[in-house]
Copies of this chain bind each other. A is one copy, B any other.
Amino acid sequence: MRNISVIGGDLRIVKLIEILAKDDYKIYTYGLELAESISELKNVIKTDNLNEVINKSEIIIGPVPLSSNKQDVNMLFSDKKLSVEDLILSINDGKIFIAGNLYENVYRLIENKNIKVIDILKREELAVLNAISTAEGTIEIAIKETISTIHGSKILVMGFGRVGKILSKMLKGIGSDVYCEARKYADLAWIKAYGYHPVYLRDLDQNLGKFDIIINTIPHLILNERRLDLVKKDCLIIDIASSPGGVDRNAAKSKNIKVIWALSLPGKVAPATSAEYIKETIYNIFNELDNRV
């Protein structure tokens, strides 16, 4: 039985602890005293001594993402406060620290220490799996925010990356008429292979007028004021690209085009599944660590 220490986090981390406990890990927690569902689990030890929690395990799991303001550790199920700096400085040599969305200062703080730091959100497999939740959350929005069925609707997905691929598959599975925009010939070939309608970026303008819904996954301005003029008046635009998004929201507002900007869907739409994915990724990391020389 291996120990794992967990510090802070949101509902996904709570669910993760439930799974790890079921898998027979012994879990020491800090900053999760308000999480009721794990209070009764016999493998889970809640404590309010940070150093003790850190000392108990080789593996320290932090929040995903670690911090929302680059200062305080995200601890949704705690009344306590903990700065990222204090947390990092508490971790002693020889530990493995896994958390999400690490940034420059975190790396600087551990620079001269012998700590292995892993940003789990940079793991490709987790990014792919999270795209499933994002796609599903987008579909919920598309059904809810229109007065038509998405079955039979013409939908443009802009960007054929992880979310673009999975979302297109799901939309087609429901019965939408799916168009995908891309700028690389190979992506257009894939779009065709998967049975969607390819829209080459240079032909975007002349196609924009036919869509009932446009979903953007590209994180830079594509639907600018000029292009918004080409869109159907009752078209719904869903922007799921991370900041700054891909839509000129002010222009859209003045043209009365409905834009919904949806961020961080995985944690909101399906925290239990997200926890499952984080667990799988952590186990992959364990596997890699076991196989290191």
Binding site for B on A (CB under 8 A): 11, 15, 123-126, 128-129, 131-133, 135-137, 139-140, 143-144, 146-152, 165-166, 169-170, 172-175, 185-186, 188-190, 192-195, 269-273, 276, 281, 284
Contacts and interface: CB of A to CB of B under 8 A. Distances in A.
B195 A175 contact: yes
Contacts of A136: 143, 149-151, 174
A272 B125 contact: no
Contacts of A146: 270, 272
A11 B147 contact: yes
B133 A149 contact: yes
Given A173-B174, A185-B124, A185-B284, A144 B149 contact: no
A273 to B, nearest CB: 4
B273 A152 contact: yes
B273 A129 contact: no
13 contacts: A124-B186, A132-B193, A137-B143, A147-B271, A149-B273, A151-B193, A152-B192, A152-B273, A169-B175, A170-B175, A173-B173, A174-B174, A185-B284
